[in-house]
Structure formats: structure tokens, C-alpha cells
Amino acid sequence: MAQLITPAELDDLLRSSAVRVLDVRYRLDRPDGSAEHLEGHVPGAVYVDMETELSQHGRPDEGRHPLPPREALQAAAHRWGIDDGDTVVVYDDDRALGASRAWWLLTRSGIADVRILDGGLGAWTAAGLPVESGPVTPEPGAVRLAPIAEPVLSIDEAAALAASGVLIDVRAAERYRGEVEPIDPIAGHIPGAVNLPTGAYMDGERFRDAASLRALFGTVGVGDGVTAAVYCGSGVTAAQAVFAAELVGLELRIYPGSWSQWSNTPGRPVATGPAPAEVTGSV
């Protein structure tokens, strides 16, 4: 189940018990957040690299951010200093987009207690809590990760769900409609997918309240017992929607190949234009 932690709660946890904090700063236009991490981070936070640790590089038709193999993710978790039974807190500075990817991978790999810092680094500093600069190199951990047991959607399963269930595209509305495409070779969306952009789940840097999130998912037909999944540009930011859904007791699966895989696979149909009931937001 998705869990948030406030800055004050994290501060107390840092003072009273062992906790591993991960800095997962990542943006589409600035994927390497290591320089910002060195300038200032939550005390003891280890920098996590999206490109090399939370994904792997594959062929274009595998998508831009395929899920990393268990062995590679476990080696990264050892570098971060995680041991079995640790509480892990993840954060970023952009609507929990990078943090949600780390949360999803770690919880699905068997780590029971992974929380996202509510409001990210901005909320931490706004609360007057200290930051430190420079690199953080903890003692290596020895956590044992399990293979990801939760089924993720293949490209064919995503196509089938878009036709018979609910498949959510969380990219910006203009990318969904096919008006612009800054990265992938074709503009548009998977036929049948609905649009619920990443910004719609947030109130600034914080997740919206439970009632608002429930109502938001309801606008695209997601409710109790509904089979639904989510995709984005490359499989990274889709995890934010999964976290938001779990906050209110709903379930979403991920199509990790996302639009980058779909648009690089010959023969896949492409739709353009608005959804029947479009929800505004921004990536």
C-alpha cells in the first residue's frame, strides 16, 4: 500500500531509528540530478540515478526506460546501503515522478516499508529542516530483492486493455492529442486510451486528498474492481499514477514500454485528438 511521510515525520525517523533516504531527482529535460544532489539534499540521502539504476538501456522497440533486471537493481540497492528490514524513504523535487518509480520498483521487489516524502525536497526545506551538501557513500547494504512478481503489461496486453478496459495515458494533454511530440518518433496515443496527466494528481508538489483522487480516477472509469493500467512516455512517470491510486485503495498495472515502445514498433495504430472527457494537467 502506498505510504506518504511528512518532513516532520522523516526528521523524527532520522533521529530515532535506522532509515535509508534516497534522492531520486529526475526531470525529462534534465535527467541527471546529481549536480543538484551535491548542492543540497536531505541529510544522509543517497543519490539514485534514473538512467543507470532504475532502468536499463535496450532497443528502441523496448522503450526508453525498460525495467532493470533484478540483479542490477539489487546491486544498486546494495550501493544505496539498504539492508533487509530497512525503512526506505524516497523523494525528488518534481511531483514525485522519479520517487514513484523508485517506490514502485522497490515495493514490487519485496521491500515492505517504502515511503514517499510528501511535498519532496521543497517541503523539507520549507519546514526549515537542514540540508547537507556533497556526496553520500554509505556502507554497502545486503538487501535481498525478489523478482518483480506483479504482472506488467506487454504491448499486446496494452492494446487489448485499451479496447476492453481502462488504459490511462499520463502524458501532457498536447502530447496525448498528438499536437506535439518532443522525444518519440510519432505523435499521438494508443487507440482507446484515456488521458489523465501527471499534474492532475497533485496539488503543487503534494498529492491531492483522497476524495479528490477518487473523483479524479472516477472521471476515466477507474473504481473498485475495475481492470485498469497506465502508461506514459517511457514507463517512468506512470508509477506516480499507481502511487496515487494506491493511496485511495485502487489498483493500476503498468505498461512499462509505454509510448516510446509503441511508437517505435512498426504496424501499431496511432490515435490523435482529444479524449471524450479530457482532464487538464501537465507533464
- Please give the Cα distance from 257 to 184 (Å, whole number): 12
Pairing status of strand 194-195 against strand 166-169: parallel
Number of Cβ within 10 Å of residue 186's Cβ equals 13
Map residue 39 onto helix, strand or coil.
helix
Q: In sequence order, which ranges of the chain are alpha helices (DSSP H)?
A: 7-16, 34-39, 50-53, 70-79, 97-108, 120-126, 155-164, 173-176, 210-218, 238-247, 258-263
142 in active site? no
Cα–chain center distance at 245: 12
DSSP class of residue 199 equals G
DSSP class of residue 203 equals E
- Please give the Cα distance from 281 to 190 (Å, whole number): 19
Map residue 192 onto helix, strand or coil.
coil
Catalytic residue among 168, 232, 242, 244: 232
The catalytic residue positions are: 232
